[in-house]
Amino acid sequence: MIYIKLNEDNFEYDIYSLVKAFYPKEDVRIGTDEAPVDEDVSFTMDVKYADHVLTLDGKEVEIDYSNRPDTKNRLKLAIYKSLSERTGKTLPWGTLTGIRPTKISLGMIEEGASDDEITSYMKDTYLTSQEKIDLSLEVSHKEHELLSKIDYDNGYSVYIGIPFCPSTCLYCSFTSYPIGLWMKKLDDYIDALEKEMAFTAEACKGKSLTTIYIGGGTPTSLDAEHLERLLSLIDKYFDTKSLLEYTIEAGRPDSITYEKLQVMKNHPVSRISINPQTMNQKTLDLIGRFHKVEDIHRVYGWAKKLGFENINMDLILGLPGETIEDVQYTLSEVEKLSPDNLTVHSLALKHSARLNYDKEAYEDYLVENSQKHMDICLEAARRMDMEPYYLYRQKNMAANLENIGYAKEGKEGLYNILIMEEKQTIMALGCGTACKFVTDHGKTVTRCENVKDVQLYMDRIDEMIERKRERLREDLKWL
């Protein structure tokens, strides 16, 4: 265990995230007391805040505490250099621990900065590697191009959450519930969603709807009848004909049928996901994905036969037991299908994931990711005529890398960029979702969350709608 001793509570999250990036397998704790004497402590880091000075393990750094962002950057630089000396390691993203590194480069592009100026800033301020700066710039220029068609001030997007899954995967920490236990209450859930749809349509009257994204959970865990009802309600309340993009995260192949794909095709859905995560059967069995590799090929074939022209596939790098040869095999199988989008995730272990809280049961399995893994994904994407168009990061990511989306020209997922770059208001409907109210092109972002429990969501839907009404009135002045 690594113990961080503070003389006052401040910047705890930033300190924790950076130490964890250097020591991903260590337990990291932060407190204002002395390190516990009854536990095995690898080392203690002593951080003291005082007037104009930050002391880290006895070394002083001048700090202007009136400028909190600058204080945070100087603190993280000091911690980074200390840990880099201790471990002999550097981190590809340097001191950046937030989930949206491209917000920095995109923001500077919008302000007219040159690539050289952005490069210097990211190197000096965050110690970011040249490789990741180049990636940030490539993605940010593409985002800048795609976002030029978006109406920030008078537009909005809609996210609809379906919090049900056939089963919970080994690595998953999202809010989801076994569909089998909720079949008798699906109409009640959709009733509550309809109330939110009706409110949202009225509240956003006069605004233009840019994108709709139906996620989860696994939206296609709904049977065809309930999926038809859901999509018909969306058609009823929203102007789907003017959309730039309409996505359903079909997700797990074991939840997709030809009939459900036909239901989607009968509505103006323009983009779907069919997510294998891996093409190695032994890994699918281990992580609790109850489908065969052959099912992925079959479902993809159905989607192409029905005329879907924008299909995404998700992969996860760092799944337990997978070697780089396994990843190469997965990519070779994906290349045979040649989807329109490819989203590559670096495994990020959250506290609530079974792979984390039951980790002793899986300690004999290799969990590996590296820049080499990311590079072979980039090479495969480019062989499929795809280029990177968005990226984000999460806590506890394998090898401290990133999640990155690739797409063929004209097939990029606009919602993915909007949710990451926080440029447009997103109205989120459903259990466990959170609205993002955006003003001043992303300079101010506030959240309004729905409860995570399905039954409470249905019971308290009127209360949540009234909370949204109040926040829309105060934060956006839309009502």
Gap between the Cα atoms of 183 and 164, Å rounded: 10
Does the residue 98 lie in any domain? no
Q: Residues 140-167: what's their mean pLDDT?
A: 94
Choosing from 81, 105, 131, the residue where a domain stops is 81
Q: Residues 404-416: what's their mean pLDDT?
A: 97
Does the residue 354 lie in any domain? yes
Does the residue 34 lie in any domain? yes
Of 137-141, 219-223, 343-347, 387-391, the range with the lowest mean pLDDT is 343-347
Q: What length does the chain have? A: 479
The confidence band for 354, taking pLDDT boundaries of 50, 70 and 90, is very low
CA angle 391, 411, 442 (to 5 degrees): 45
Of 171-180, 321-330, 444-453, the range with the lowest mean pLDDT is 171-180
Gap between the Cα atoms of 438 and 68, Å rounded: 22
Residue 413's domain comprises 149-465
Phi-psi region of 368 (alpha: psi -120 to 50; beta: other; left: phi over 0): beta
Does the residue 88 lie in any domain? no
User: What's the whole-number average pLDDT of the chain?
Assistant: 91
pLDDT value, residue 54: 87
Same domain, 60 and 189: no
The confidence band for 175, taking pLDDT boundaries of 50, 70 and 90, is low
Same domain, 186 and 275: yes
How confident is the model over 381-395, as pLDDT tens digits?
A: 999 999 999 999 987
* Closest by Cα among 476, 311, 278 to 407: 311
Same domain, 354 and 440: yes
Same domain, 48 and 177: no
Q: Around Cβ 151, how many Cβ atoms within 10 Å? A: 12
pLDDT value, residue 349: 53
Q: Does residue 357 have a pLDDT over 70?
A: no
Same domain, 167 and 260: yes
pTM, two decimals, is: 0.92
Same domain, 178 and 56: no
How many separate domains does the chain show?
A: 2
* Closest by Cα among 243, 244, 189 to 216: 189
Choosing from 40, 65, 81, the residue where a domain stops is 81
Domain CATH number, residue 213: 3.80.30.20
Gap between the Cα atoms of 127 and 133, Å rounded: 10
Can you name the residues that pair with 52 across neighbouring β-strands? none
The confidence band for 174, taking pLDDT boundaries of 50, 70 and 90, is low
pLDDT value, residue 183: 95
How confident is the model over 57-73, as pLDDT tens digits?
A: 888 988 888 888 989 99
Does the residue 203 lie in any domain? yes
Same domain, 160 and 46: no
Q: Does residue 122 have a pLDDT over 70?
A: yes
CB 106 within 8 A of CB 144: yes
Does the residue 417 lie in any domain? yes
Same domain, 304 and 444: yes
Same domain, 47 and 193: no
pLDDT value, residue 400: 80
pLDDT value, residue 226: 98
* Closest by Cα among 361, 346, 357 to 286: 361
Q: Does residue 4 have a pLDDT over 90?
A: yes
Integer angstrom CA distances of residue 200 from 61, 126, 194, 465, 472? 50, 40, 10, 9, 10
The DSSP letter of residue 63 is: -
The confidence band for 176, taking pLDDT boundaries of 50, 70 and 90, is confident
Q: Does residue 398 have a pLDDT over 70?
A: no
Choosing from 24, 56, 81, the residue where a domain stops is 81
How confident is the model over 276-318, as pLDDT tens digits?
A: 999 999 999 988 888 899 999 999 999 999 999 999 999 999 8
The confidence band for 351, taking pLDDT boundaries of 50, 70 and 90, is very low
pLDDT value, residue 194: 98
Instruction: Report helix angle 414-421 to 130-147, nearest 10.
Output: 110
How confident is the model over 421-467, as pLDDT tens digits?
A: 999 999 999 999 999 999 987 889 999 999 999 999 999 999 999 99
Same domain, 289 and 207: yes
Same domain, 196 and 327: yes
Gap between the Cα atoms of 373 and 135, Å rounded: 15
Gap between the Cα atoms of 308 and 331, Å rounded: 21
The confidence band for 37, taking pLDDT boundaries of 50, 70 and 90, is confident
Q: Does residue 191 have a pLDDT over 90?
A: yes
- Report the percentage of the chain scoring pLDDT > 90: 78
Same domain, 406 and 297: yes
Fill in the amino acid letter for 164. F
The confidence band for 44, taking pLDDT boundaries of 50, 70 and 90, is very high
The confidence band for 472, taking pLDDT boundaries of 50, 70 and 90, is very high
Does the residue 126 lie in any domain? no
Q: Does residue 27 have a pLDDT over 60?
A: yes
Does the residue 110 lie in any domain? no
